């Protein structure tokens, strides 16, 4: 099979709805997809690795990158900066790879404007109650942060209509299979909306 074209893949969801797990599953199953490692100023968490999960940089470094126009999109979220480097995306596409981005909606909308050829997918949780449970079970966030994430989730859902396709993230294996199917469909110029 010859793939006709490569493009970035945007995966967004409210915080806690599992976009990282879905991205991991797509990457594990599909050798044509590479992960776009974002830059962030937020502190590193438990098992995360610098340069693998994120490039962890200082606020000064991040602001310098903004000035040098190195970001295809960047956004502030809960007091920290997150950004996607133009170079990361271009290098992957040149290697004939799809490049998957795990980003929140504000950044995603900017990215879509800059690269309208991207495939954009929005993941809904099965319910808001389940989203809240997943956030609480994560135990990395204080009570007020969880409340903010839930309130943000409502705004993020309101922005979901901008995305190419919607899925409910109720089964990581099934959802990641569907995403891979759509990636190849789009690459072969087939319909991806039905």
Report the interface residues with a copy of itself, using CB under 8 A: 124-130, 133, 153-154, 157-158, 160-161, 163-168, 170, 192-194
In angstroms, give the least distance from the CB of 154 to a copy of itself.
5
Q: How far is the CB of 92 from a copy of itself (least distance, A)?
A: 25
- Among residues 43, 41, 46, the alpha carbon closest in space to that of 71 is found at 41
Nearer to a copy of itself, 84 or 105 (CB): 105
CB atoms within 10 A of CB 66: 12
Residue 192 CB, nearest distance to a copy of itself (Å)?
Answer: 8
Which of 95/126 has CB closer to a copy of itself?
A: 126
- ∠ CA 194-183-99, nearest 5°, is 140
Nearer to a copy of itself, 45 or 155 (CB): 155
Q: What is residue 3's three-state secondary structure?
A: coil
Q: Which tokens is 137 given?
A: 């079970």
* Shortest spacing between CB 175 and a copy of itself, in angstroms: 10
Q: Read off the tokens for 68.
A: 């040098």
Name which of 42 and 178 has its Cβ closer to a copy of itself: 178
Q: Which is nearer to a copy of itself, 89 or 123 (CB)?
A: 123
CA pseudo-torsion sign 174, 175, 177, 181: positive
71: part of which helix (H) or strand (E)?
strand 71-77
State in angstroms the smallest separation of the CB of 21 from a copy of itself: 15
Q: Which is nearer to a copy of itself, 66 or 168 (CB)?
A: 168
| Residue 90 CB, nearest approach to a copy of itself (Å) | 27
CA distance 157 to 141: 21
Pick the closest to residue 123 from 83, 73, 179 (CA basis): 179
Q: How far apart are CA 53 and CA 164, in angstroms?
A: 25
């Amino acid at each position: 099979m010859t793939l006709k074209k490569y493009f970035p893949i945007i995966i967004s969801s409210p915080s806690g709805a599992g976009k990282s797990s879905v991205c991991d599953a797509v990457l594990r199953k599909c050798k044509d997809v590479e992960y776009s490692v974002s830059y962030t100023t937020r502190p590193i968490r438990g098992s995360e690795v610098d340069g693998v999960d994120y490039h962890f940089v200082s606020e000064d470094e991040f602001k310098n990158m903004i000035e040098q126009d190195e970001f295809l999109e960047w956004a502030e979220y809960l007091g920290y900066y997150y950004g996607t480097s133009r170079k990361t995306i271009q290098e992957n596409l040149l290697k004939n790879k799809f490049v998957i981005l795990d980003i929140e909606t504000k950044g995603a909308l900017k990215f879509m404007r800059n690269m309208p050829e991207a495939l954009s997918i929005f993941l809904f949780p099965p319910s808001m109650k389940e989203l809240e449970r997943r956030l609480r079970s994560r135990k990395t966030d204080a009570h007020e942060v969880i409340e903010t994430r839930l309130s943000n989730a409502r705004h993020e859902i309101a922005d979901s209509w901008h995305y190419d396709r919607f899925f409910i993230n109720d089964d990581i294996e099934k959802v990641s299979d569907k995403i891979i199917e759509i990636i190849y469909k789009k690459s072969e110029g087939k319909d991806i909306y039905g």
